[in-house]
Amino acid sequence: MATLTKKTILSHLSVKEAMRRQVIWIPKEENIAKTINLFIKYKVNALLTTSRDNKPVGVVSKTDVMGAYYAGLPLESPVEGIMSSPPLFCKPDESLEVALDRMKSRGIYRLYVREREDGEAVGILAYPDIVGLLYRYCHGCEYSHFSRKKPAETKRQIQYRVKDVMTTNVKSFRDNETLMQIMEGLSVYRFGAVLIKDQNSYPAGVVSKTDLILAYKHGISADIPAKLIMSSPVKSCDEEDLLEEAIRKMIFSEVHRLFVHRDTHQKIVGVFSLSDAARLKSGSCRACVSSRIKVDDHS
């Protein structure tokens, strides 16, 4: 008998339907400062690194650059010394579900896409791409929260809420703790950002890897307190919010995570990220599982 985990909308989709076709690359001889500039210019979290003959040889991510900041490396250092190698690839016609499983099992955020083993990269697949595709299908589905085709009561019965998907392990730091301490926490817990609380234990802001690499670029000492670079206010949602609404908020706000509050904005009980949404392997409600929605049904 078939299992429910196989009855997901991802079963009908291929990598090429979700991948981004713009691949940003950088020669491995280029320096860290140029890498940060490209991160900011193209709003990406990683760059494909290439050899002198333009062959892909590695990936340099914001995590790698944060590690260089922590180690005190000069901005003029070549990215070859901090990149991860080799890059991991998938093919355009590969099942999106299979690609997602590979990302999860390897603990990675992205795969590059190429037609042949020795070919050039033609695309990139990351968690936001998968969620963005699912959201587009959800938005056109009759079970969508934004659809008027079904009675509201019926839709409420099948909608996922943020509390069904969020991560409850929220790591926070005090606003007087140093950037060095923040980087240690991000590395240990493998988070993209951490919550910063004030001296009264109230949420005061967020420090992300983007905030840290910008501090690195501007020559800011890693010994300064977090409150000097944190982003504020904290972007959050209620744990009872519908998943579709939270995803919509992230997509249109261009953020990868929302902190989750209960009752009041000061009571943070979780964090919801695009990675959490992608791991559902489905849309934002239970309809994809219960009725085996097909891609052909959506426009």
pLDDT in tens, 223-282: 999 999 999 999 999 999 999 899 999 988 888 999 999 999 999 999 999 888 888 877
Alpha carbons 218 and 149: distance in angstroms, whole number? 52
Sign, Cα dihedral of 159, 243, 191, 86: positive
Which of 242, 237, 231 is CA-nearest to residue 267?
237
Q: What structural domains does the chain harbor? A: 4-126 (3.10.580.10), 162-278 (3.10.580.10)
The answer to whether 284 touches 242, Cβ cutoff 8 Å, is yes
Residue 158 has pLDDT above 80, yes or no: no
Rounded to the nearest integer, the mean pLDDT of the chain is 88
Residue 1 has pLDDT above 60, yes or no: no
Alpha carbons 57 and 70: distance in angstroms, whole number? 24
DSSP H or E run through 241: none
For the entire predicted model, the pTM comes to: 0.85
DSSP 120: P
Residue 154 has pLDDT above 60, yes or no: no
Q: Which whole-number Å values give the CA distances from 55 to 69, 80, 114, 244, in the listed order?
A: 27, 14, 12, 40
Sign, Cα dihedral of 233, 234, 239, 245: positive
Q: What pairs with residue 61 in β-bridges? A: 46
pLDDT in tens, 172-221: 999 999 999 999 999 998 889 999 999 999 999 999 999 999 999 999 99
